[in-house]
Structure 1
Amino acid sequence: MKVELENLFSIDESSQDQVINVYNRHGIAIGAPEIRKRNLKTKFNPIFTLNEDVTYEKVAAVYESLEREFGIVSIGERFYFEFSDLEYEWAPLFTLNSTGNSPEMFLEDKGTLFSLSTHCKNCGLMDKEQLSPIVIDTSHMKGRHLVHVSGYWVASEELVALLKNEKLEGFEFLEVIHQGPEQGKQPAYQIIPTQILPSSSQDRVKLYFATEQPPCSCGLNGVIKGPDIYHQEDLAALKGDVFYSAEWSHDGRYLYKKTLFSKRFREVIIKHGISREVRGEKDRNFGPKDWLFDPVLIK
């Protein structure tokens, strides 16, 4: 697996060579962007690999130099995780990051009942326990097989039928409550895993944005976690196709248990044409309705 960091900011075209030199003199090799228009600000988005040579300390030093020398203070950051073909082939489990290259896959909760408690007083992360079926406007399910609602996955009637026909196991369905206009109402069901995975390896990559405050002392807020890593022996007796992780994830406000899916689940989705074979966000095949699965790494 390779970890890449993308920066995004604007510069004057006349400054691009000097900005490239800032990266280069800190040991980060980048090239010039493609210039589409002249005499305008250039969108500058270098992408480089983080490793033992290109460290957070170097990245922070680059940002300090860009601010001091060019007044660049607004720098966007985005991480990419790139996997080898073997990592896709060996993975028994996958994390589902997208069921369509579109923000429309994320639906707003319309009134699901939860009990809430404070998990961390420093950052304000909250624990929540679901007390009622998920409440959403199911009309937004039309044309979509699976959507994400506040940390939970909600499936269409068609996907439920497919999973039953393919005899996938390890989960239950709970019908959601429709809140919205009756016209366009769709049957939809929350997928509830019935199994929890063993604890993942402590070798999992943990990142943060150098442009933001350091991560909270709780170890959750402000931390960008890399792909899950498991020891082979811990998954040897695993059966089923859908699982909760043992560790907590969060959406910036609430904690939830992430759902992981089996290799067979992914193969069924591809076999039935719900998604094409996609390997990473930068895959040229990644279209507006494709599902993005990241492989779990095995030690």
Structure 2
Amino acid sequence: MKVELENLFSIDESSQDQVINVYNRHGIAVGAPEIKKRNLKTKFNPIFTLNEEITYEHVTALYESLERELGIVSIGERFYFEFSEQEYKQAPLFTLNSTGNSPEMFVEDKGTLFSLSTHCKSCGLMAKEQLSPIVIDTSQMKDRHLVHVSGYWVASQNLVSIMKQENLGGYELLEVIHQGPEEGKQLAYQIIPTQILPSCSSDRIKLYFATEQPPCSCGLNGVINGPDIYHRKDLSNVQGDVFYAAEWSHDGRYLYRKTLFSKRFREAIIRHNISRDVRGEKDSNFGPKDWLFDPVLIQ
């Protein structure tokens, strides 16, 4: 597995050589950005690999040099994780990061009842307990098989039928409540895993954005978790196809448990032509309805 960091900022065309020199001086080889005619500003988005030679210390020093020497202070950051073919083949479980390269995969909650409590007083993260079925406008799902609602996965009747046909197990279904126009209304179900996985390996990578404040002391807010890693022996007795992670995730405000899916689930999605076999966000085939699964790493 390879970890890449992408930067994004705008520079004057006249200063591009200076910017490249700063990167190169810090041991990061980047090329010249594509310049658009009649535009003195150009977007500069180098992508480089973080490893033993290029660490957070190098990145922090790079940003300090860009600010001190060229006045560049607004730098966007984004992490990518690239997996090998062998890692895809060996993975018994996958994290589903997207059911389409489109904002339509997200559906707004219309009034699900939750009880709330403060998890961390420092950063304000809240814990929530679901007290009612999820409430959404199911017509917004249209022909989507699976949508994301406030940390939960909601499946169409068609996907539920496929899951039953494939004898996938380890979950319960809770019918959602429709709130919206009758036209386009459809049956939809929250997928609720019935099992919680063992804890991840302590070797799991934890990242953060060097341009932002250090992560909160709670260990959640500000932390970007790398791919899930498990010891093979810890998964030896795990059966089923849908699971909750033991660790908490969050959406910036609320905690939730991430859902992981089995290799059989991923293969069924591809076999039924719901998604193509795409490998990461930078896969040139990643289309508006393709599902993005990241493999769990096994030690």
Q: Does the alignment reach a TM-score above 0.5?
A: yes
Q: How big is each residue's C-alpha offset from its partner over 1:165-184, in whole Å with a ceiling of 9 and x where there is no partner?
A: 11100001100011111221
1:37: how far off?
2.4
Q: Deviations over 1:114-137 (max 9, x none)?
A: 111100000000111101000111
Map of 1:154 onto structure 2:
154
Structure 1 unaligned spans of 5+: none
The farther-off stretch of 113-122 and 63-72 is 63-72
Deviating runs (4+, > 6 A) in structure 1? none
Q: CA deviation at 1:275?
A: 0.2
**Residue of structure 1 in register with 2:2 after alignment:** 2
Please list the CA deviations of residues 34-61 of structure 1 after superposition, one character each: whole Å capped at 9, or x if unmatched. 2232442011000000011111111111
Q: Does 1:213 align with 2:213?
A: yes
Contact 1:13 1:38 in 2 (8 A): no
Task: Tell which deviates more after alignment, 157-166 or 177-186.
Answer: 177-186
Q: Quote the RMSD (CA, aligned, Å).
A: 0.8
| TM-score, length basis structure 2 | 0.99
Write out aligned runs for 1:18-57 (5 A): 18-57=18-57
Mapped partners of 1:69, 1:218: distance in 2: 35
- 1:74-89 aligned at under 5 Å gives the runs 74-89=74-89
Q: Does structure 1 residue 246 correspond to structure 2 residue 249? A: no
Q: How far apart are the structure 2 equivalents of 1:38 and 1:141?
A: 42
1:139 correspondence with 2:136 = no
- The number of residues matched between the two structures is 299
The letter for the 2-side match of 1:65 is S
Q: In the TM superposition, what is the alpha-carbon distance from 1:72 to its structure 2 partner? A: 1.0
* Stretches of structure 2 lacking an aligned partner (at least 5 in a row): none
Q: Which residue of 1 aligns with 2:115?
A: 115
Deviation at 1:27, TM superposition (A): 1.2
Separation (CA, whole Å) in 1 of partners of 2:39 and 2:235: 57
Q: Following superposition of structure 1 onto structure 2, how do residues 260-299 of structure 1 map, counting pairs within 5 Å?
A: 260-299=260-299
- Match in the other structure for 1:99: 99
After superposition, give the CA deviation of every residue in 1:8-52 in whole Å (9 maximum; x if it has no partner).
000011111110110110111111122232442011000000011
- Distance, in Å, in 2 between the alignment partners of 1:211 and 1:85 is 33
Which residue identity is paired with 1:73? V
CA distance in structure 2 between the aligned counterparts of 1:199 and 1:35, rounded to whole angstroms: 48
Q: What is aligned with 2:67? A: 67
* SS of structure 1 residue aligned to 2:22: helix
Distance in 1 separating the partners of 2:31 and 2:169: 48
Q: TM-score, normalised by structure 1?
A: 0.99
SS at 1:172 equivalent: strand
CA drift at 1:77: 0.3
